[in-house]
Structure 1
């Protein structure tokens, strides 16, 4: 089947761009319904590593003439015990008659009655697979007449493209998960990051940096943003980025960018491993808040890591935050003498030589991630 300009504009481009939509492929589905003359349709997406109780993503679409009708109820359709979706051969188009249970007359009668009640007299099923990482099921239905041969041919022709888009979506979901993991960990530790080019333009910023810093659009038609800074600090930032990008001087520089909040920006030469094509930043800037893990979570982690009792772990948690021993003990209901005895046991169990060494151990271990 030859691809027409309308196919490219209405189906293939929305399919490619649809991986960035939330939920994905909405425009593609609306255009596909229009092109095939379907009354209702839905696309179900499931990920192989999703939790057992995680519901699949369902993208329902109705033609304008059926906008007043309720969307297609995929759960009711699934409950009819039609031919199992997972048993459909990927990229093959199935007609409604192929999905019915002809081996069980009673069940067949129930299926036909329910389908009629749902306004489904004609339908097409299409399964697409992303190599075991995800599956998608496309269902289109009509009420008054069957799908044309051209519509079925279109589904067959576009099936491998949907599968390719699904594989791309799965890869993108994996990248998003990696990004979310990194961002969540940094935010938990109070760290925000920005990527800068050699001239000090902001190429990217993580959510915490976006919330802490103020950005201005780059003047003119050039891409990028600038940090909103006092003129003298802005010049220092540009100079530091140029020096770090060229490799001149120290590999790290620090600028006080907000004296009122005592907010410092640590700049270091970017040494990121990025696959080409990539716009490579020259400098990575980091800001950090005075943020520690939740005290209760920290106590749980310390008990698990070093075999401390509940009281010992609570005292160790307080000491790791720089609290004086006696004051920390009193806050926990301990006498000064008991707090001193507890501290000796803490240092013994953790292999540390005092409060400063304990702080080092806690801050360099997994506790701040709790």
Structure 2
């Protein structure tokens, strides 16, 4: 599982069967390329065991097994491709195996002894074959963790761009994640805050209702057919601002079905602040619809709630000029009304908050 220790693991396995050289590689059968390799010892001699012509012969055999050199068809040709490398280790007496991964991936292992050493026994081969399924499983888990890590990084960045607060709680009701907008709301006096890892609402009655919603979501998270979401309006007291709209619902990660850990239900809260209007990124609108800078600015301003009259007064422009620009925007965006244009702007990728 730890990529940094793979060479040590490979060396330990090689030592167990008295192999002088060993290699491990991961690649793709469709492209024929190797995207990861490690050898023991880490020098060019051991890497000679990664000869493409020989690897292809091994991969043509049944996966999940180890083969001796003489058991693989075409072995004489592959041996001739090694040139002087075959004088370094007993290639003919080696053991070679592979396993398949999802999609078109593969794993390849090779073990050789020094020239003149005894050949590998059936016991040595049996030991290696017993290890193959575990190696394959470890690689698959590593791949899944890598994919989830990338997804986590991407989603966290996207969550921070949202104009809605997002908060995740664990089964004990403690905060395990909050995006940038939620953390900003926590810093404001009154409303909803995070104290010692728990959500607290300033108004007692509203705080009790929030606790009840969270407890219900945790308790019913794994119950099919049970309505386990709710809504709450959170006043912001002395701030003289509109209340926050809070959505509370259960969230259960699918990773639980792959582990032996206790089921960890999770609660997701969405915090809606009606005071925060989404703004459009003008350069995105320019690229999407081939708008000029002034046309994109007009569409952005209209989407933010401004009127033609307000824009004309603010920019010292005539209403006729702005209406002419708006007609061109309608044509380029294939819209006919101002309301359709606003909906288009606010629902597209340009609507992510700056």
TM-score class normalised by the smaller sequence: 0.5 to 0.7
Q: Given the two structures, how large is their TM-score scaled by the length of structure 1? A: 0.61
Contact 2:282 2:300 in 1 (8 A): yes
CA drift of 1:91 comes to 1.0
CA drift of 1:129 comes to 1.2
Q: Could you say which residue in structure 1 is the equivalent of 2:248?
A: 269
CA distance in 2, matches of 1:291, 1:70: 57
Contact 1:93 1:156 in 2 (8 A): yes
Unmatched runs of 5 consecutive residues or more in structure 2? 187-194, 218-227, 258-262
CA distance in 2, matches of 1:184, 1:48: 34
- Asked whether 1:41 is paired with 2:22, we answer yes
Q: Could you say which residue in structure 1 is the equivalent of 2:123?
A: 150
- Counterpart pick for 1:70 among 24, 37, 43: 43
Q: Could you say which residue in structure 2 is the equivalent of 1:57?
A: 36
CA distance in 2, matches of 1:265, 1:337: 40
- Counterpart pick for 1:341 among 317, 320, 324: 324
- Counterpart pick for 1:114 among 80, 85, 96: 85
SS in 2 for 1:155: helix
How has the CA–CA distance of structure 1 residues 346 and 94 changed in structure 2, closer, same or farther, with 3 Å as cutoff? same
Larger radius of gyration: 2
Q: Could you say which residue in structure 2 is the equivalent of 1:130?
A: 101
- Asked whether 1:301 is paired with 2:271, we answer no
Pairwise mapping of residues 172-211 of structure 1 onto structure 2 (< 5 A)?
172=145, 175=148, 179=152, 182-183=155-156, 185-189=158-162, 193-197=166-170, 200-202=173-175, 204-205=176-177
Q: Could you say which residue in structure 2 is the equivalent of 1:251?
A: 231
SS in 1 for 2:14: helix
SS in 1 for 2:98: strand
Unmatched runs of 5 consecutive residues or more in structure 1? 1-17, 215-224
Superimposed CA distance per residue, residues 324-344 of structure 1 (whole angstroms, 9 cap, x where no aligned partner): 769989xx9x98754431113
Q: Could you say which residue in structure 2 is the equivalent of 1:93?
A: 66
Root mean square deviation, CA, Å: 5.2
CA distance in 2, matches of 1:175, 1:140: 33
How has the CA–CA distance of structure 1 residues 46 and 350 changed in structure 2, closer, same or farther, with 3 Å as cutoff? same
- Asked whether 1:365 is paired with 2:348, we answer yes
CA drift of 1:195 comes to 1.7
CA drift of 1:138 comes to 1.9
Q: Could you say which residue in structure 2 is the equivalent of 1:82?
A: 54
- Counterpart pick for 1:284 among 258, 264, 269: 269
CA drift of 1:99 comes to 6.2
